[in-house]
């Protein structure tokens, strides 16, 4: 898959296109992309828009990671500013027709187009004018609740882990670069990888997780703490730090894609000092290892790019 942050003409063939924010790549988005990739004799092209003014479920880098092993031909990873002031008709003419040689547009049934917010039925007639058809994909519902990015964001804020994973169709993903922390893990003989994440990333619910990290072409299981460290300091700045199981290499500066596999417990302060913290950590690691052993067949087939 070709990934570019510049909107460029496609000159060697005709395209099937989908456009939107695709924040979270939830099950509804995946249905659109699945349909997009089934367009016969057309290049599947995704225009993924980013919004840097509000917290996002997935950054453009995370979307690219999840999609890179799929069947897309091209992913345009663009700021919404590039097209947000276009009318639906100018988008259809200037981008879909002239630049991308679009023959089919795939969209969710509730999609709106252009600054004038044209619905799918109206946009279908515009498409006929410029030589492409519009195919729609029904909205996905889980337990009679429509799947949407806003619903998932609310679930993340509320810590509703069941809803998060069911609507995403996967575990929550966080990417970041390993940076130097305070060295707290060394107190317990457990050095951790501290992740610096994008400033517009919607922070996962605070707690302790079983996790899997991908970097340097390898997957590594671990225990991840998301949030504050009340037993060590009172600084009100949440962090994401991972203790990698059976791992002892220096990975400072590495880009890591971290999948939160299972929620273990919430964050709490231990009054008994380091000994009590270490005892709890040992229990957490045992619980994570039990989860890995029970789900090993599924977890070990995961590889770079979860979608």
pLDDT at 301: 45
Q: pLDDT grade, residue 181 (50/70/90)?
A: low
pLDDT at 296: 72
Averaged over 109-131, what is the pLDDT?
Answer: 96
pLDDT at 189: 53
Cα distance between residue 99 and residue 200, in whole Å: 30
Q: pLDDT grade, residue 303 (50/70/90)?
A: very low
pLDDT score of 248 more than 70: yes
pLDDT at 237: 65
Q: How many domains does the chain have?
A: 2
User: Which region among 17-21, 44-48, 150-154, 302-306 has the lowest average model confidence (pLDDT)?
Assistant: 302-306
* 20 and 133 fall within a common domain: yes
pLDDT score of 304 more than 70: no
User: What is the residue-wise DSSP string for 33-101?
Assistant: HHHHTT-TTSEEEEEEEE-TTS-BSS-HHHHHHHHTTSS-SEEEEEEGGGTTTS-HHHIIIIIIIIIT-
| 77 belongs to a structural domain | yes
pLDDT at 190: 63
Cα distance between residue 109 and residue 141, in whole Å: 13
* 85 and 130 fall within a common domain: yes
pLDDT at 79: 93
pLDDT score of 273 more than 90: no
* 10 and 136 fall within a common domain: yes
Q: What is the pLDDT of residues 147-172, one digit of tens each?
A: 999 999 999 988 898 999 999 999 99
| 243 belongs to a structural domain | yes
pLDDT at 256: 96
Give the Cβ contact number of residue 117 at 10 Å: 10
CATH number at residue 213: 2.40.30.30
Averaged over 244-259, what is the pLDDT?
Answer: 92
Averaged over 101-119, what is the pLDDT?
Answer: 97
Cα distance between residue 176 and residue 197, in whole Å: 4
pLDDT at 306: 47
Averaged over 206-226, what is the pLDDT?
Answer: 94
* 213 and 116 fall within a common domain: no
Q: pLDDT grade, residue 3 (50/70/90)?
A: very high
pLDDT at 134: 98
Q: What is the pLDDT of residues 25-66, one digit of tens each?
A: 999 999 999 999 999 999 999 999 998 778 999 999 999 999
| 307 belongs to a structural domain | no
Q: What is the pLDDT of residues 66-88, one digit of tens each?
A: 999 899 999 999 999 999 999 99
Helix (H, G, I), strand (E, B) or coil at 178: strand
Bridge partners for 225 per DSSP = 208, 241
* 126 and 190 fall within a common domain: no
| 236 belongs to a structural domain | yes
CATH number at residue 133: 3.40.50.620
* 8 and 136 fall within a common domain: yes
Averaged over 249-264, what is the pLDDT?
Answer: 93
| 74 belongs to a structural domain | yes
Q: Which helix (H) or strand (E) is 289 found in, with range?
A: helix 274-294
* 121 and 194 fall within a common domain: no
Higher model confidence: residue 210 or residue 228?
Answer: 210
Average pLDDT of the residues of the chain: 89
pLDDT score of 182 more than 90: no
State which residues form the domain around 89.
2-142
pLDDT score of 173 more than 90: yes
Q: What is the pTM of this model?
A: 0.90
């Amino acid at each position: 898959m070709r990934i570019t942050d510049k909107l460029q003409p496609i000159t060697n063939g005709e395209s099937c296109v989908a456009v939107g924010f695709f924040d979270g790549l939830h099950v509804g988005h995946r249905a659109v992309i699945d349909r997009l990739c089934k367009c016969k004799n057309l290049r599947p092209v995704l225009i993924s828009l980013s919004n840097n003014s509000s917290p996002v479920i997935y950054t453009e880098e995370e979307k690219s990671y999840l999609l890179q092993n799929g069947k897309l031909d091209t992913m345009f990873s663009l700021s919404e500013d590039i097209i947000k002031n276009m009318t639906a008709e100018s988008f259809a003419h200037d981008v879909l027709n002239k630049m991308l040689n679009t023959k089919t547009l795939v969209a969710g049934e509730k999609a709106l187009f252009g600054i004038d917010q044209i619905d799918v039925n109206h946009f279908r007639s515009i498409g006929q004018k410029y030589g492409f058809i519009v195919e729609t994909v029904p909205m996905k519902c889980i337990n009679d609740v429509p799947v949407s990015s806003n619903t998932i964001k609310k679930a993340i804020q509320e810590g509703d882990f069941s809803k998060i994973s069911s609507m995403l169709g996967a575990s929550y993903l966080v990417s970041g670069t390993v940076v130097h922390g305070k060295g707290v893990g060394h107190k317990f003989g457990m050095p951790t990888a501290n992740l610096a994440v994008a400033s517009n990333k919607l922070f996962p619910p605070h707690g302790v997780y079983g996790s899997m990290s991908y970097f340097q072409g390898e997957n590594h299981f671990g225990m991840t703490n998301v949030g504050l460290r009340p037993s060590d300091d009172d600084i009100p700045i949440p962090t994401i730090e991972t203790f990698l199981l059976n791992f002892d290499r220096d990975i400072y500066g590495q880009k890591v894609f971290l999948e939160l596999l299972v929620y273990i417990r919430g964050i709490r302060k231990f009054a008994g000092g380091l000994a009590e913290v270490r005892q709890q950590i040992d229990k957490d690691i045992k619980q994570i290892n039990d989860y890995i052993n029970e789900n090993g067949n599924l977890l070990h087939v995961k590889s770079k790019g979860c979608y």
